[in-house]
Structure 1
Amino acid sequence: MTRLIFFCGHAGAGKTTLAKRLIRPLIARSGEAFCLLDKDTLYGAYSAAVMGALTGNPNDRDSPLYLETLREPEYAGLLETARENLRLGVNVLVVGPLSRELREGLLFDRAWLGIDDDVGVHVVWVDLDEAQAKARIVSRGNPNDAYKLEHWDEYRLRRFLPPAAAFPGLVRFDNTAPAPEDDEQLLQTLLAHTR
């Protein structure tokens, strides 16, 4: 059985940091191979080249043009790369906002994911309140966040908190001030087999 683990959440929530913090303990405890697929790492340079050619702004990751043109192909490639690793017997951590896919229930739809029944799926939603997330975005100084910050009132409308009742399989992780015991509890959840 292989594992497909999603780390989802809004910008600035700490998805990538959390996934990187947990991957070594996951490998050590399971004795299995894991890879980390971060959407920004896989498609950052490509998206910069395309948006630079289309708009002159290589850092645009939030405009309507980006969302309509590149978002879907990026996620399609990300998921196909995950499936390819799973077919090779490698567990996968996928990092990306994936808020639309979660809201539509697609991350729990095995047919949409295109995975076999023997793949265990966990979906982790990394929570951080809006003010702290915005402060983290500002402090990291990533030029890809410029559009988001300049249009914050528009962007914030895309932020949502998935209700637990609507997503019973969702694992919530409060990233406000995580303690070692919070990481430990999440690790135990992720190492448990699920379908």
Structure 2
Amino acid sequence: MHREEIGLTLEDAGEKLREIAERHGFNIAANFQTIWGHEKGSVYPGPHYRRAYCRLYRRNEAQLGFRKALPGEDASVESVLAPASVKRKLPDQLDIVRRALSSIREGTDDVDSEALCTRVIDAWSRRTTGSSTDGPVVVLVGGFAGSGKSEFAKFLGGLTNWPILDKDSLTRPLVDQLLVALGGVAHDRSSELYREEVRPFEYRCLMEAAWDNLDCGISTILDAPFISEFSQPDWMQRFQNRCRSKRVSVATIWVECDPESMREYIEFRGAARDTWKMEAWDEYISGLDLNMRPQGPHFVVDNRLGAAVALVDEARDVLSGGGL
């Protein structure tokens, strides 16, 4: 219905979806046979296809019928009738950035989500001038595997131009070789050997790299699960104290997600380090505290059913000038 109302053939839709995929880094082929299968309902689209359809038709997943709506989420589907020759006006960039950042809410009473969003927007606004009067900020983005934390961290990095330190990108090759050298298996992230002998050094490398940036006055975003760290009041307090001594602001963000969406994301990315999770999913998910929140001041991003990432996609599209 949406495709025909804006005057697109299957081939046209495929071309537009491929343009969106290139702009956002989605992994889709978008040929007309696949699109037709999605429209008939014989094939259910994967995560990247769904995100691309949302950008193409300017609707969220609930409005397109891919999932139920979250509480308070708009799931109405009004007509999108418009001549194919008429280019739809993109939303205001500042408004769409604010909308995407609205996914961040206070997880505790002693943090201010509006202040954090203002800081991010100010950094985005100053990117071309390079002027800044604030000290550096360190943003810790944590969450369970497949929660969408990396997508959200990348969005914040793209807005602010703050460098992102991703734990896996920074340490994975060394961690895999260390596991093998210790008699373990590369890509293992579930054994006692990994947890006791390797993981502490993995996070130490991440944090040392962050301090190098912060000591130079460079705001930095850290992307890692942080499950053990966020659970320890002592660790969180020491980190806060060290940042305070260096006049560094701290924003701790927990990205929450539902188990079904996490499983889909993990299965879709097909990373070797997730093999055990997929083979023993029930055991893995039963070991997670899905009600976990970081100790101390923190923010929460609600990415259940991929809602927050969908807003991020929308904002990226508008900022890039993307349209049909």
What TM-score range do you get, normalising by the shorter chain? 0.7 to 0.9
Is 1:107–1:123's contact at 8 Å kept on the other side of the alignment? no
Is 2:240–2:250's contact at 8 Å kept on the other side of the alignment? no
Q: Which has the higher strand share?
A: 1
Residue 113 to residue 8, structure 1, CA distance change in 2 (3 Å) = farther
| Residue identity matched to 1:160 | L
TM-score, scaled relative to structure 1: 0.80
Kindly state the Cα deviation for residue 152 of structure 1 after the two structures are TM-superposed: 2.8
Which 5+ residue runs of structure 2 have no aligned equivalent? 1-134, 316-324
Q: Percent identity?
A: 31
- Structure 1 stretch displaced more, 124-133 or 168-177: 168-177
Kindly state the Cα deviation for residue 92 of structure 1 after the two structures are TM-superposed: 0.8
**Number of equivalent positions:** 176
Is 2:236–2:296's contact at 8 Å kept on the other side of the alignment? no
Is 1:106–1:112's contact at 8 Å kept on the other side of the alignment? no
| Residue identity matched to 1:161 | N
Kindly state the Cα deviation for residue 11 of structure 1 after the two structures are TM-superposed: 0.3
- Structure 1 stretch displaced more, 143-152 or 125-134: 143-152
Out of 265, 287, 290, which is 1:160 matched to? Answer: 290
Are residue 15 (structure 1) and residue 145 (structure 2) matched? no
Out of 139, 151, 171, which is 2:268 matched to? Answer: 139
Which 5+ residue runs of structure 1 have no aligned equivalent? 28-33, 185-195
Residue 181 to residue 18, structure 1, CA distance change in 2 (3 Å) = closer
| Residue identity matched to 1:152 | W
Q: Tell me how far apart the structure 2 counterparts of residues 148 and 5 of structure 1 sit (CA, whole Å).
A: 27
Is 2:232–2:295's contact at 8 Å kept on the other side of the alignment? no
Q: CA RMSD in A?
A: 2.4
| Residue identity matched to 1:8 | G
Residue 137 to residue 182, structure 1, CA distance change in 2 (3 Å) = closer
- Structure 1 stretch displaced more, 38-47 or 15-24: 15-24
Are residue 2 (structure 1) and residue 136 (structure 2) matched? yes
Kindly state the Cα deviation for residue 107 of structure 1 after the two structures are TM-superposed: 5.9
1:97-143: CA deviation from partner (whole Å, max 9, x where unpaired):
11111111356414576334411100010111112101211111101
TM-score, scaled relative to structure 2: 0.50
SS of equivalent residue, structure 1 residue 109:
helix
Is 2:143–2:254's contact at 8 Å kept on the other side of the alignment? yes
Instruction: Please give the residue correspondences for 1:29-178 in structure 2 after superposition, counting only pairs within 5 Å.
Output: 34-55=162-183, 57-106=185-234, 108-111=236-239, 114-117=242-245, 118-156=247-285, 157-163=287-293, 167=295, 169-175=297-303, 176-178=306-308
Which of structures 1 and 2 has the larger relative contact order (alpha carbons within 8 angstroms, sep 6+)?
1
Larger radius of gyration: 2
Kindly state the Cα deviation for residue 24 of structure 1 after the two structures are TM-superposed: 1.9
